[in-house]
Chains A and B, each alone.
Chain A
Amino acid sequence: MAALVKYSRALVTFSKNPASLSLLRAGCPRFCSGDVMSASVHDRIEEKRRAALLGGGQRRIDAQHKKGKLTARERVDLLVDPGTFVEYDMFAEHRCSDFGMEKDENKFPGDGVVTGHGRIHGRPVYLFSQDFTVFGGSLSSVHAGKICKIMDQAMLTGVPVIGLNDSGGARIQEGVESLAGYADIFQRNVEASGMVPQISLIMGPCAGGAVYSPALTDFTFMVKDTSYLFITGPDVVKSVTREEVTQEELGGAKTHTTLSGVAHRAFENDIDALLRLREFYNFLPLSNRDPAPIRPTEDPADRLCPVLDHLVPLDSHKPYNMLDVIQALIDEEDFFEIMPKYAKNIVVGFARMNGRTVGIVGNQPKVASGCLDINASVKGARFVRFCDAFNIPLITFVDVPGFLPGTSQEFNGIIRHGAKLLYAYSEATVPKITVITRKAYGGAYDVMASKHVKADINYAWPTAEVAVMGAKGAVSIIFRGDQDQAKKEAEYVEKFANPFPAAIRGFVDDILEPRMTRQRICRDLDLLSTKKESRPWKKHANLPL
């Protein structure tokens, strides 16, 4: 009952939408000559509109609510600023005539997806929200066409696209037409990639070919317990490989945020997800032609961070939390971490410095010593490329003992995957600022936004050690067979376990007291905001995949 009351309230809000009313009024006189006609067309419009707002009908809406999910329209209502949503193609209906689909009771205006544009904290956004109450949100050619329409406009206007996915898959009754619809979306996902940010929020099932649209977008977020992503469901898995697995284990939020790395973050429920998405959206520029957004902050740009002075332990075997470093430096401790539970040996996410959005990458000494492995390299590389594509300056915190050794890493291609991070950093032309907090060993030093891969500014904290490897390993090679390894080790430490070897060669621009770091980075960002760097023309580069 309560749900019903609430829904009808939502309905009222929508019909009160000033945009839709004015459309109605403007439309009437032009098309209708007689009073009878006028009344009947007017009624039909009203009736269709009402039907569209009800989606698959009250019974299905109740079922959706019972699953702990909001309806497609309720989701849109929460996501955009009040009164800003403008809907497209509310009257679109499928044209399928097989399997009894042509019957009136099988036609739903809108055809299972709500599309249009609105605003989030004042800035425009295009969005689509799949309606599970209509044919399980399945994708028809009309459904796909609606999504393609807003994506095309998004590219023309340079406005991001947010997809709220809740769909059982292809509309089987339509056959190949539905598949064509998917491909149309994929093609646009790829064309829009790097032009406007694309965000997918999985709020229900998303299976089969449908998964590739979120996979092509920049960010995929999930809702815990109510969303699933898989190529084939548990039943097919069982019949093919005889593995018994639940939906949740196979493709739930936990699986994809901790194991597979398919999703970038998971949220508690629909409301939490949509409100967090509003926050996340504020970090992003609208397109690749827009600068990283700047907004006011009450955190002073020249704030000293004495708390960092002794955070890095002198004993280089002792871990510390790189998140503590990040939280202390950024504006108001507001860090939106991407993939917080996957490849935790590297930390990536968005923050602001003096109000300006920055992308943060940091090795995490607390987890697996902060070494780079396959997952960490891929996680870092994808994030760096997103930032580069959208003019978001990169700040890198380096404490890396090297790439992770071992057969499993080598057999699985750490060379190929590690190259992705190196590639991404070398390719990036956004402002790149690097702070070496402690270890920067071996090839991993080169990779992590060193001066050699065209980082603009490299700083070393007094605790920094830039070297080919740790003292023990180095001494066992240089002084092989020497009896007094301990003494040689001490010699090596004296010589290399400090920032000087890098500083005297200009490989770091300055040795910085940790407390000064925020101040300096804020100044550097202002200076680098006019950075222009172009690379030779090419069709596209060839990232090692």
Chain B
Amino acid sequence: MASYRFNLVKRVPQFSSSLYRIARRCCSIYTTPVDTNEPTFDKILIANRGEIACRVMQTCKRMGIKTVAIFSEADRHALHAQMADEAMYVGPAPSNQSYLVMDRIMDIIRKTGAQAVHPGYGFLSENKEFAKKLADEGVAFIGPPSGAIQAMGDKIESKLLAKDAKVNVIPGFDGVVKDADEAVQIANDIGYPVMIKASAGGGGKGMRIAWNDQEARDGFRLSSQEAASSFGDDRLLIEKFIDNPRHIEMQVLADSHGNALYLNERECSIQRRNQKVVEEAPSIFLDPDTRRAMGEQAVALARAVDYTSAGTVEFLVDSQKNFYFLEMNTRLQVEHPITECITGVDIVQQMIRVAKGHELTIKQSDIPIRGWAVECRVYAEDPYKSFGLPSIGWLSRYQEPTHLPKVRCDSGIQEGSEISMYYDPMISKLVTYGDNREEALQNMCRALDNYVIRGVTHNIPLLQEIIAHPRFVSGDINTKFLYEEYPDGFQGRQLSDAEQKEVAAMAACIYLRDQVRAGAFKNENRMPLQPVNPAAWDITAIVQGQEMPATVTENKDNFTVTIDGQTLTVNKDWSIAAAVLDATINGQQNTFQCISRKGDEIKLQYKGTVFKVEVLPKKATDYSHLMPEKPKVEASGEVRSPMAGSLVSISVQPGQDVAIGQEVCVIEAMKMQNSLTADRSGKVKAVHFETGTNVSEDDLILELE
């Protein structure tokens, strides 16, 4: 009952400061001014949530357009709902009952009198039915016409259209190859290198790459033998092999007056499981000619489907700079901010103008490449498990590094927000820019160091590693980068000896500061007359299992830490209570984050990765060798009912993989819902109860294998 108390979220004045921060943070990059005399919509509904809803609203505010947000049960307090002029409840948390329910959204449009809808990305953004419904009601859809959505939404049709528009598509032979001679013939038609693969195959079996005629012959022979033995079917196909493929895409913009242009490219090769992780604009790989050729083909394709609004044409590019059409995304892309940074064009503003029927005021020749921009997608996920498995949680502390210069952070969350299981686990898009790639990357490194996220597991360790990776820095990347560089999965940063000492020294200084303060009572008159603390403290810091005996001294202006005969000087002007510690070690700037301080265990984030450092007084370390090694208590893998109650829901099935901390069922007792979680990762062996049944205290509900 209580949950339906308010349908309309009223503006609360105390949020104005954070709203100001959000409104301010990206306006400075735009060079496309707002013409206040130009007619525009009075009110726009944003049929989306999270960062993209906030992003669209910023431009609406800039253009003086009122905004309507929709929010689900889980998003009642979400930033996008607070930011909008009006916020309307759209349904329960699952998106198929809220953000995807067209009828509800249509109702809200009628109720609020919104004249246009911006769909963001995902949800209904590429749904032609939704576009049609809006058209029927005379509401503008801020996006391409439904014909273009339909044409580009179909893989086969879009490829044929692209071919007709003289856009390069991956050449291949669609029939079955008869013999080796034909194979060579086809390979020559396509152009080397080619991939010969079993038509029945998959997973690399019966697959050969040929760079010349001889290899094509051999490949045909070997592949057909292998195909016959593996699949009992020796038929083969040949298609162009894209070696070291890069994913490079072109941003296009078109209006309904026949104007179309491209806003240059974005390089999105750093991916995992076909999802982009790090993007940059421009691409280090393209020369002006290739860029122009790609851009012109992208524009040609847009014209071929009478495209309007913003869209993206994705290409695969091989090591010889040959590029091939992949698909066209008929929406605003996640990674559009980097294009905005280098071109100064507010893409959302242009989308709104085009939707209103205005002509593009910019020309192709007006589109610059101003410096360099990099985007990291910051996700709530564990990067140590297949480069990122989603995690959920409550942001107990959250500070975006937007106080730093040349940083833009697009997010839809704030301190106290919940990252729920219902939606995409993206926390934010962190964008940095600079006059050149080096500067942009340096800014990114600093921004990641200063980004405070507590309460959920996030992928900053991985992002920090990627942008500092020598291969990435040199620009030698492809879509398989992560799998090539981390074949055994990502393990976190491996510290050098010098870095290990820096981490130990910082932890030692934090420890000393805490210890000195522990004896500095303000209202105690029974302290000894002589000083309580020694001049130099003998301690042992244990970093990554390595014991490092050290001597720490507090001086007037700094700390000195002597480890292994080497003296490190650490500055003093940082606070033990702050999340980010700007330390200067031997004159070198270092950014640490103190994640937690529990007894003698200090968790420090350094260069992205969190290190656990134990700091003990020396005599405790001497005695510690007498303490027995305790066997690690294995998590039981059992989920038992902590109380009597009824099982409201069970969210897993036998055979399903669960992650540690994942909710497996919910018990209602005392009219309260208690969520039970898995105490380790594993496969569900058995579920002993059904939804709706009653359980007693300590009943075994579920077991893991």
Contacts and interface: CB of A to CB of B under 8 A. Distances in A.
Interface of A: 2-3, 6, 9, 65, 68, 70, 74, 77-78, 81-82, 84, 119, 121-124, 224-225, 268-272, 275-276, 279, 282, 286, 290-291, 293-299, 306-311, 314-319, 324, 327-328, 331-334, 355, 365-369, 371, 401, 404, 470-472, 489-490, 493, 497, 513, 515
B1 A119 contact: no
B670 A371 contact: yes
16 contacts: A2-B625, A70-B623, A82-B534, A122-B528, A123-B524, A124-B526, A268-B630, A269-B628, A279-B599, A295-B520, A306-B416, A309-B77, A318-B673, A369-B669, A371-B670, A470-B671
Given A225-B630, A332-B576, A367-B642, A121 B519 contact: yes
Contacts of A334: 597
B526 A123 contact: yes
B166 interface: no
Given A77-B619, A299-B577, A317-B673, A332 B397 contact: no
Interface in B11-45: 14
Interface in B297-323: none
B522 A294 contact: yes
B632 to A, nearest CB: 12
Q: Which 7 residue pairs of A and B lie closest in terms of their CB atoms, listed nearest first?
A: A369-B670, A122-B532, A68-B628, A307-B416, A369-B672, A121-B519, A298-B577
B521 A295 contact: yes
A269 B518 contact: no
B522 A355 contact: yes
B465 interface: no
A296 B524 CA distance: 12
Given A314-B76, A493-B1, A121 B576 contact: no
Nearest to A368: B643
Given A275-B620, A315-B3, 6 more contacts: A121-B518, A122-B528, A306-B416, A307-B396, A366-B674, A369-B670
Interface residues of B, number: 60
A6 B599 contact: no
B5 interface: yes
A531 B468 CA distance: 58
Given A298-B577, A332-B597, A271 B620 contact: yes
A231 to B, nearest CB: 26
B370 to A, nearest CB: 36
A78 B620 contact: yes
B628 A314 contact: no
A234 B617 CA distance: 38
Interface of B: 1-3, 5, 14, 76-77, 394-398, 414-417, 515, 517-524, 526-528, 532, 534, 575-578, 596-597, 599-600, 616-617, 619-620, 622-628, 630, 642-643, 668-675
A344 B626 CA distance: 34
Given A270-B627, A369-B672, A298 B532 contact: no
A365 B519 CA distance: 36
A271 B1 contact: no
Given A272-B599, A317-B673, A123 B521 contact: yes
Contacts of A355: 522
Contacts of B628: 68, 225, 269
A138 B143 CA distance: 85
A299 B594 CA distance: 14
Contacts of B416: 306-311
A472 B670 CA distance: 12
A319 B596 contact: no
A269 to B, nearest CB: 4
A298 B518 contact: no
Contacts of B76: 314
A293 B3 CA distance: 44
Nearest to A281: B518
B521 A294 contact: yes
A147 B594 CA distance: 43
Contacts of A6: 622-623, 625-626
Given A124-B526, A306-B416, A490 B1 contact: yes
Given A77-B619, A513-B14, A314 B2 contact: yes
A319 B677 CA distance: 14
Contacts of B522: 294-296, 355
Contacts of B417: 310
Nearest to B644: A406
A78 B397 contact: no
Contacts of B599: 272, 275-276, 279
B10 to A, nearest CB: 13
A347 B620 CA distance: 31
Contacts of A225: 628, 630
Contacts of B519: 121-123
B626 A3 contact: yes
A319 B674 contact: yes
